[in-house]
Structure 1
Amino acid sequence: MRKASRHRDGHGTLAELNITPLLDLVFVLLVIFIISTPQLVNELELNLPTADKKDAPKSAPPKLTRIIVQPDGSFNLDGAVFTLESLRPKLEEVKAERRAESGEPNVVIRGFGEAEYQRVIDLLDLLQQLEITKIGLATDVLTPAGG
């Protein structure tokens, strides 16, 4: 115990380094950087690009062709009921109209929960045969009215 007290009295070598002044300096520099940084950021000049009219969004979104697969296997397009065979000429007509307007027709397929999957697959095959590639599947399930 006596040896430890001699080192504290200042007669021996000091084995500890006092870092308190170093920490004080670091904290002062940190405060200076924190205070001066917002002034540097506010003085930054930016050359923002201007928007071209060709990059502006189109005035109207493309028209969607919505096809509903009914529980009885028929298809509903624009309020009219079609079979798969009678749907082909109507889709060819829609395809010609949409290509004249905007290029490619956009088709969204919705179905009732009771509709057979095979009817949806048959419709997808028909759309592929007609080379209609922009197809979406609606994820909400329709239920028949009154049931």
Structure 2
Amino acid sequence: MAFNSSRDPHESMAEINMTPLVDVMLVLLIIFMIAVPVITQSIEVNLPEAQVESAPAPPVSIALDLKLDGSLWWDKQLLSHQQLAEKFAQIAQAEPQPTIELYADGDIAYKSVVKVMALAQQQGVTRLGFVTENVTSAAE
């Protein structure tokens, strides 16, 4: 083995020693060659069968629109307050109760919205949600 003695002993060596890298790669290769067959090996098992009841359908949602003129629309069908009370009573008896999505005009009187909410509560409706628009700009 020949050493170059003309170099300064304090000068850094610019060569990369590949031997440790090759050693590590060979060790990893051997580990994976041994581990992969152990991981992919499986045992045959006869699993029992069970009868599973079908899951109930997810509850439906019903759109209730409150227009600025005071009209009530149940899934795009015009209703009176009496008809709305009957619809709420039917919904309260359903199991599971569908969700009523309340779409109220932004300029409608708060009193009108509260009346519909009170009517729903009196009839036993428990799933009532408000639908709003997402406004991204802060200036209005």
Structure 1's unaligned 5+ residue stretches are: 9-18, 142-147
Q: Matches of residues 134-145 of structure 1 in structure 2 within 5 Å?
A: 134-139=127-132
**Residue of 49, 72, 87 corresponding to 1:75:** 72
Deviation at 1:29, TM superposition (A): 0.9
Query: TM-score scaled to structure 2, two decimals?
Result: 0.56
- Deviates most, 68-77 or 115-124: 115-124
Q: CA RMSD in A?
A: 4.0
**Residue of 80, 98, 108 corresponding to 1:116:** 108
**Residue of 119, 123, 130 corresponding to 1:126:** 119
- Is the 8 Å Cα contact of residues 70 and 115 (structure 1) preserved in structure 2? no
| Amino acid aligned to 1:28 | L
- Is the 8 Å Cα contact of residues 66 and 72 (structure 2) preserved in structure 1? yes
Structure 2's unaligned 5+ residue stretches are: 9-16, 135-140
Report the 3-state secondary structure (helix = DSSP H, G, I; strand = E; otherwise coil) of the residue aligned with 2:124: coil
Output the CA distance in 1 between the equivalents of 2:34 and 2:107. 67
| Amino acid aligned to 2:59 | P
- Is the 8 Å Cα contact of residues 91 and 97 (structure 2) preserved in structure 1? no
The structure-2 alpha-carbon separation of the partners of 1:94 and 1:26, relative to structure 1 and needing over 3 Å to count, comes to closer
| Amino acid aligned to 2:62 | T
The structure-2 alpha-carbon separation of the partners of 1:34 and 1:103, relative to structure 1 and needing over 3 Å to count, comes to same
The structure-2 alpha-carbon separation of the partners of 1:23 and 1:53, relative to structure 1 and needing over 3 Å to count, comes to same
Output the CA distance in 2 between the equivalents of 1:129 and 1:77. 18
Q: What's the % identity of the aligned pairs?
A: 21
Report the 3-state secondary structure (helix = DSSP H, G, I; strand = E; otherwise coil) of the residue aligned with 2:70: coil
The aligned counterpart of 1:41 is: 39
Deviation at 1:53, TM superposition (A): 1.4
1:53 has 2:76 as partner:
no
The aligned counterpart of 2:27 is: 29
